[in-house]
Amino acid sequence: MPQYAIIGRHEANGCPMTSKGAREAAMKAYAGLEKMLSTHKAKLVLDLHLDPNHKAFMLFEAPSAEAVRDVVMMSGLGSFLDCDFHLVTSIPDTLKLLGNFPILYP
């Protein structure tokens, strides 16, 4: 199944550790996350906080990018995280594709 990565971040004053509103939003988002993942046939493979920064790394398996987007938005994760969204390809699979890419530099 395709994989998608999200690197989320927020400002210090919007951190669930220190902000009442962000904490409530995070608790609500995570309380409903399993149901949202199931609804969109997605799986959260990794969910890591990048200490000590105000960043998180999430790796999803899902049938489409739209499914991950919907999980993030509809669960509420997007209410306290600014998310960079990435399609993911393993390094071995990327190496297999190298012959298809033009060589641009000597």
**Residue 105 belongs to some domain of the structure:** no
Question: Residue 44 sits in which domain range?
Answer: 3-100
**Residue 39 belongs to some domain of the structure:** yes
Q: Measured between alpha carbons, how far is 51 from 58 in angstroms, rounded to an integer?
A: 14
Q: Measured between alpha carbons, how far is 53 from 81 in angstroms, rounded to an integer?
A: 13
**Residue 106 belongs to some domain of the structure:** no
| Count of structural domains, the chain | 1
Looking at the predicted structure, is the pLDDT value of residue 99 above 90?
A: no
Exposure of 85 in the CB half-sphere (CA atoms within 13 A)? 12
| CATH code: domain of residue 22 | 3.30.70.1060
Residue 63 CB neighbours (<10 A) = 12
Residues 22 and 10 sit within 8 Å (Cβ to Cβ): yes
**Residue 88 belongs to some domain of the structure:** yes
- Looking at residue 49, its pLDDT comes to 96
pLDDT digits (tens, 9 = 90+) for 4-13: 999 999 999 9
Question: Taking the model in full, what pTM does it have?
Answer: 0.88
